Amino acid sequence: MDLNYTPEQQTFRQEIRAWLKAHVPSQPLESFDATRAGFEAHRAWERTLAEGRWGMVTWPESYGGRGLDLIQWLIFEEEYYRSGAPLRVNQNGIFLLGPTLMEYGTPEQKARFLSAMASGDEIWAQAWSEPQAGSDLAAVRATATRDGDNYVLKGHKIWSSRAAFADWAFGLFRTDPASERHKGLSLIFFRLDAPGVKVQPIPQIDGETGFAELFLDGVTVPVFNRLGGEGEGWKICMATAGFERGLMLRSPARFQVTARKLVELYKAHEDEVEPSVRNAVLQCWMDAEAYALSIYSTASRLIAGGHIGAEASTNKIFWSEMDIAMHKTALSILGARAELLRSAPEAGDIGRWLDGYFFSLAGPIYAGTNEIQRNIIAERMLGLPRA
């Protein structure tokens, strides 16, 4: 065990720190979920990142990356969140679909999709859930019917993150009409502006339109848009979910920066809050550190050739519950001012804690509910019998 950064890793940190200092917008961008303008501002930032070849540092150079390992990715993320750079509008693409494409895509598919993803030219949404297929994702009904070199998509997808403004979506479709449950599904890409796609934004709890429902009525896509073999969709979807829950979706730096801000908030209001808040602040900081150490441990194992397993589920439960605790603690420090919108004249420096709190409440739901994650831990890690 060696918990020291190498000189190369330290140099890398300085390099990305300097680049971010020179390039991160001085004013926060408008939310990418609220307006087209906010979305496009984030796309422009993705392009700036890509010009510096910082779009996706772990990817091979041929796809716009730097071919770096997961420890360097963690260093990148640490500096990224430290700098206050904008959230990644293309996270569905670069963090979820990207790694899966890298593993299951043909060379032609990689060439077609990865560079455009890293450059921000194509922003992705996910289209997994359906009205009757939420936690029970294998109940997917949307169909992809083979027609020569094409598939014709039909069905109703919902809770598609980023779909209101994104360019592309990837989703699970039943390619074998006689199939049931996990069999006969395929992972297929489609453009969100294709004929036959109707995008209906869904206002979220905070009034923004972060997700949408998609009505697909005879959407024709080439067979080329299928990732992996026909009928392999479930397996590939689970691999994507592993990355999503397990590692890349929520890098530890995000929470460590929140913990730092929480400590600063507490220090500023120390005299006004009740004593128990102090312990809550300590716990939040410790949890953020524990998550970071855990991810370093996982990254070290993956670099040495390991695979991500059920810890994807333990990670997802841990970060989602921690995120709620941090924001809830912040609200308790802000007291009666916590309910103010940032536009309120008296809001002062209350920050974005309320926005963050609402967003944190989605954490135990998206990327597979925490109830499903607990089933996975119980059955696959502990070996308890299925119901």
For residues 43 and 89, the answer to whether their CB atoms sit within 8 Å is yes
We find the least distance from the C-beta atom of residue 320 to other proteins, in angstroms, to be 11
We find the least distance from the C-beta atom of residue 198 to other proteins, in angstroms, to be 37
DSSP class per residue in 274-333: -THHHHHHHHHHHHHHHHHHHHHHHHHHHHTT----THHHHHHHHHHHHHHHHHHHHHHH
For residues 193 and 253, the answer to whether their CB atoms sit within 8 Å is no
Whose Cβ is closer to other proteins: residue 195's or residue 275's?
275
Containing 243, the helix (H) or strand (E) segment is: helix 233-243
Pick the catalytic residue from 46, 122, 244, 311.
244
* Measured CA distances, 289 to 76, 257, 282, 299 (Å): 17, 10, 11, 15
Can you tell me which residue has the tokens 């496009």?
A: 40
Whose Cβ is closer to other proteins: residue 132's or residue 297's?
297
Q: List residues binding other proteins (CB under 8 A).
A: 1-6, 9, 13, 71, 77-79, 81-82, 252-253, 256-257, 259-260, 263, 267, 278-279, 281-282, 285-287, 289-294, 296-297, 299-301, 303-304, 311, 314, 317-318, 371, 373-375, 377-379, 381-387
Whose Cβ is closer to other proteins: residue 127's or residue 317's?
317
DSSP class per residue in 99-165: HHHHHH--HHHHHHHHHHHHTTSS-EEEE--BTTBSS-GGG---EEEEETTEEEEEEEEEEEETTTT
We find the least distance from the C-beta atom of residue 290 to other proteins, in angstroms, to be 4
We find the least distance from the C-beta atom of residue 303 to other proteins, in angstroms, to be 8
Whose Cβ is closer to other proteins: residue 10's or residue 62's?
10
How far apart, in whole angstroms, are the C-alpha atoms of residue 210 and residue 123?
A: 14
Whose Cβ is closer to other proteins: residue 76's or residue 128's?
76
> Active site includes 77?
no
We find the least distance from the C-beta atom of residue 138 to other proteins, in angstroms, to be 18
Report the catalytic residues: 244
